[in-house]
């Protein structure tokens, strides 16, 4: 089959690409979500070099593969944020499962490699589903090696009606001895000072996540991607407080099309760890999501994040297919 690769056209290609991406990711990708993401990402990239000659700055290339009859059969992107690790490009290739072995994946890969070497990237990182051996083989055949493993977990929620009938999940543990610690939501609090305090907690704890590299985004970017989102629900950002200080947080994001929520982030200040705060916050998040009628909660954790994986298993989260982080080191561009 003859495959043509061209740049994505916005917004004309949204619908077709959303369908292809939905076939790859765990939750539905909608045109609205794609449009919302585009609104917070600069149209023009700006790449440069640090003092060691490594790629820095930000850019995004989005490509589509067209079949001989002009149908969109594949999608690929290469991107880096300003806070990404120096030298690294994050890339993705997704081909409609019905169109695999048509040459679309290879054509998209060649276009991405041409771009990557052209900008002088030192390393490419790509997520591949761990239940898709065909895609793993595709990556390995092109010089990628398996790096980290991102586990995905899901807890199915029961409705209040089911709970009233005596079928509510028994979590099998006592509530944490929280003492003076209060559990609230951002809806209970007000003022940008509170949001800045939550950001500072995220900033201070993000580096503790196994596998995290680079920098944490600055406050203005964090706001755009959290509290300023159209679908942001202040009642689903839960916090633990000692006096007037926020010492822990759990952030949930809703997916209305599947009546589900995603656990975006869980953190506890280092000096307050070991007191059951993360467990209490996550249990509260489950209770709230169940009472509000959501069907399930989904989350991801690095395979080396033993403490959080243990908490999730104890709460009733079950493992489902996740992602391998595949890595390719490119020749020194200098």
pLDDT at 176: 44
Q: How many domains does the chain have?
A: 2
Q: Rounded to whole angstroms, how far apart are CA atoms 41 and 53?
A: 25
End-to-end CA distance of the chain: 37
Extract the tokens encoding 24.
Answer: 């790859």
* pLDDT surpassing 70 at residue 91: yes
pLDDT, tens digit, 9 for 90 and up, residues 58-68: 999 999 999 99
Please tell me the least confidently modeled range out of 166-170, 218-222, 324-328, 330-334.
166-170
Give this prediction's pTM.
0.89
Confidence of residue 131 (pLDDT cuts 50, 70, 90): very high
- Asked if the structure places residue 77 within a domain, the reply is yes
pLDDT at 137: 97
From 104, 121, 138, give the residue that closes a domain: 121
Going through the chain in order, the beta strands assigned E by DSSP cover: 4-7, 46-49, 55-66, 72-80, 88-95, 123-129, 145-156, 181-185, 237-242, 245-255, 260-268, 296-302, 318-329
Mean pLDDT of 258-286: 95
The SS3 call for residue 124 is strand
Percent of the chain's residues with pLDDT above 90? 84
Q: Rounded to whole angstroms, how far apart are CA atoms 69 and 56?
A: 39
Confidence of residue 218 (pLDDT cuts 50, 70, 90): very high
Torsion of CA 96, 58, 266, 39, to 10 degrees: -70
- Asked if the structure places residue 130 within a domain, the reply is no
pLDDT at 332: 76
Residues 167 and 104 in one domain: no
Percent of the chain's residues with pLDDT above 70? 93
Q: Rounded to whole angstroms, how far apart are CA atoms 250 and 256?
A: 19
Name the more confident of 162 and 64. 64
pLDDT at 12: 97
Residues 117 and 200 in one domain: no
Count CB-CB contacts under 10 A for residue 111: 19
Please tell me the least confidently modeled range out of 75-89, 159-173, 279-293, 309-323.
159-173
Q: Which region, left, alpha or beta, applies to residue 293 given φ > 0 means left and ψ of -120 to 50 means alpha?
A: left
Confidence of residue 159 (pLDDT cuts 50, 70, 90): low
pLDDT at 178: 66
Mean pLDDT of 41-49: 94
Q: What is the CATH number of the domain that holds 55?
A: 3.40.630.30
Q: Which domain holds residue 238?
A: 152-321
Q: Which residues of 246-280 are buried (b: 16+ CB within 10 A; e: fewer)?
A: bbbbbbbbbbeeeebbbbbbbbbbeebbebbbbbb
Residues 167 and 309 in one domain: yes
pLDDT at 179: 75
Confidence of residue 180 (pLDDT cuts 50, 70, 90): confident
Q: Answer for the pair 269, 248: CB distance below 8 angstroms, yes or no.
A: yes
Average pLDDT score over the chain? 91
Residues 199 and 62 in one domain: no
pLDDT at 23: 85
From 81, 103, 121, give the residue that closes a domain: 121
Residues 316 and 181 in one domain: yes
Residues 156 and 59 in one domain: no
């Amino acid at each position: 089959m003859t495959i043509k690769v061209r740049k994505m056209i916005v917004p004309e290609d949204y619908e077709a690409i959303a369908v292809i991406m939905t076939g790859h990711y765990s939750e539905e990708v909608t045109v609205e979500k794609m449009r919302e993401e585009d609104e917070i990402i600069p149209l023009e990239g700006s790449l440069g070099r640090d003092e060691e000659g490594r790629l820095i700055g930000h850019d995004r290339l989005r490509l589509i593969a067209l079949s001989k009859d002009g149908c969109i059969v594949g999608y690929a992107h290469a991107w880096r944020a300003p806070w990404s690790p120096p030298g690294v490009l994050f890339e993705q290739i997704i081909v409609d499962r019905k169109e695999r072995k048509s040459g679309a994946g290879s054509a998209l890969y060649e276009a991405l490699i041409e771009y990557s070497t052209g900008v002088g990237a030192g390393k490419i990182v790509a997520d591949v589903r761990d239940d898709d051996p065909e895609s793993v083989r595709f990556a390995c055949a092109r010089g990628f090696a398996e790096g980290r493993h991102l586990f995905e977990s899901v807890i199915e929620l029961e409705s209040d009606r089911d709970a009233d009938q005596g079928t509510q999940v028994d979590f099998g543990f006592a509530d944490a001895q929280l003492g003076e610690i209060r559990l609230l939501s951002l809806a209970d609090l007000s003022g940008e000072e509170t949001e800045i305090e939550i950001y500072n907690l995220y900033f201070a704890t993000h580096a503790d996540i196994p596998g995290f590299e680079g920098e944490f985004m600055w406050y203005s970017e964090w706001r755009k991607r959290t509290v300023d989102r159209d679908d942001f629900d202040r009642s689903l950002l839960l916090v633990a407080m000692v006096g007037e200080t926020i010492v822990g947080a759990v952030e949930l994001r809703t997916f209305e099309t599947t009546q589900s929520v995603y656990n975006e982030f869980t953190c506890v200040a280092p000096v307050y760890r070991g007191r059951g705060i993360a467990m209490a916050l996550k249990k509260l998040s489950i209770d709230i999501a169940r009472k509000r009628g959501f069907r399930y909660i989904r989350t991801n954790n690095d395979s080396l994040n033993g403490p959080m994986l243990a908490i999730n298993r104890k709460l009733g989260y079950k493992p489902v297919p996740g992602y391998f982080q595949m890595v390719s080191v490119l020749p020194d561009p200098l």
